[in-house]
């Protein structure tokens, strides 16, 4: 089962390695991982999709929270309450005979053609993981020459932003061990 983790981190060298190393070491299976800047300078945002059970996903969250460079981790379900988007570039074989058929499918999926060559097209498609998989499946019979995907970027619907909560007052509790 897929779980989506949104991880806010310091924008520093080596942070990606720390996150990736954690996933490797604890044998959490990464389906995709994307990183990019956020509305706050100095803060990066990763979306990690892991294929695992609920308990393991929760453990991944707790392990991520132990990294000094992690500001906050949000666990999002893959359901409708969250927006999860992936971008795919698909080079599909489409000679003169098949071209109009492919173009029709592009229309149906509300994808775009971004490059045209003699016997192939490059299609750009943004959407949920399911939509992209469906488009890829539909195009497969025509012959997919090259496929590139960004991996998912996710955001909860509504007004809450995890980052604000995380960055505002730091957590309380003494937490101070005697050492």
Partner 1 sequence: MSHTGAQLIWESLIREGVEIVFGYPGGAILPTYDAMTEYPVRHVLVRHEQSAVHMADGYARASGRVGVVVATSGPGATNLVTGLATAMLDSTPLVAITGQVGSGLLGTDAFQEVDITGITLPVTKHNYLVTRAEDVMPAIREAFAVARSGRPGPVLVDITKDAQQSRATLDWEGAEPKRHLRHLPLPLDRSELDRALELIRSAKRPIILAGHGIQLSNARAEVLALAERADIPFALTLLGLGAVPATHPLSLGMMGMHGESWVNRAIQEADLLIALGMRFDDRVTGKLKEYAPHAKKIHIDIDASELNKLVPVDVAIAADLGDVLRALLPAVPVADRSDWLGAIREWKGDSAVRDIKNLPDDGHLYAAHVMHDLWRLTKGEAVVVTDVGQHQMWEAQYYKHDGERSLITSGGAGTMGFALPAAIGAKFARPEAEVWVVAGDGGFQMTFAELMTAVQEDIKVNIAVINNGYLGMVRQWQALFYEGRYAATPILSPDFVKLADAFGIHGQRVECRGDLAAAVESARAAKGTALIEFKVEQEDSVYPMVPAGAALHDMIRRPAPSVLAETGSDPV
Binding region for partner 1 (CB under 8 A) out of 13-21, 77-85, 106-114, 157-165: 13-21
CB 28, min distance to partner 1, A: 12
Residue 127 forms beta bridges with which residues? 86
The span of 36-44, 57-65, 102-110, 123-131 binding partner 1 (CB under 8 A) equals 57-65
At closest approach, how far in Å is the CB of 83 from partner 1?
26
Q: Which of 27, 41, 68, 158 binds partner 1 (CB under 8 A)?
A: 68
Q: Which of 32, 69, 113, 133 binds partner 1 (CB under 8 A)?
A: 69
Nearer to partner 1, 24 or 140 (CB): 24
For the window 147-176, what string marks contact with partner 1 as x by the rule CB under 8 A?
-------------------x---xxxxxxx
Closest CA to 65 of 76, 74, 53: 74
Name which of residues 18 to 47 contact partner 1 (CB under 8 A): 18, 21, 25
Q: Which stretch in 30-38, 53-61, 104-112, 133-141 sits in contact with partner 1 by CB under 8 A?
A: 53-61
Three-state SS for the chain is CEEEEEEEEECCCCHHHHHHHHHHHCCCCEEEEEEEECCCCCEEEEEEEEECCHHHHHHHHHHHHCCCCEEEEEEECCCCCEEEEEEEEEEEECCCCCHHHHHHHHHHCCCEEEEECCCEEEEEEEECHHHHHHHHHHHHHHCEEEEEECCCEEEECCCCCHHHHHHCCCCCCCCCCCC
Structure tokens at 155: 């955001």
Kindly list the residues in this chain that would bind partner 1 in the complex (CB under 8 A).
10, 14, 17-18, 21, 25, 55, 58-59, 62-63, 65-71, 166, 170-179
């Amino acid at each position: 089962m897929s779980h989506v983790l949104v991880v806010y981190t310091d924008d520093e060298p080596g942070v990606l390695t720390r996150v990736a190393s954690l996933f490797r070491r604890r044998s959490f299976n990464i389906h995709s991982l994307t990183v990019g800047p956020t509305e706050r300078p100095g803060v990066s945002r990763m979306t990690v999709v892991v294929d695992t059970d609920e308990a393991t996903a929760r453990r991944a969250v707790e392990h991520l929270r132990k990294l000094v460079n992690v500001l906050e981790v949000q666990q999002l379900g893959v359901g409708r309450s969250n927006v999860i988007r992936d971008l795919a570039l698909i080079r599909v074989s489409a000679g003169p005979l098949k071209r109009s058929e492919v173009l029709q499918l592009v229309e149906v999926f509300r994808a775009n053609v971004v490059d045209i060559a003699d016997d192939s097209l490059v299609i750009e498609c943004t959407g949920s993981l399911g939509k992209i998989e469906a488009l890829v499946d539909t195009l497969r019979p025509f012959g997919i020459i090259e496929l590139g995907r960004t991996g998912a970027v996710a955001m909860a619907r509504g007004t809450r932003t995890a980052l604000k909560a995380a960055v505002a007052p730091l957590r309380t509790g003494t937490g101070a061990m005697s050492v």
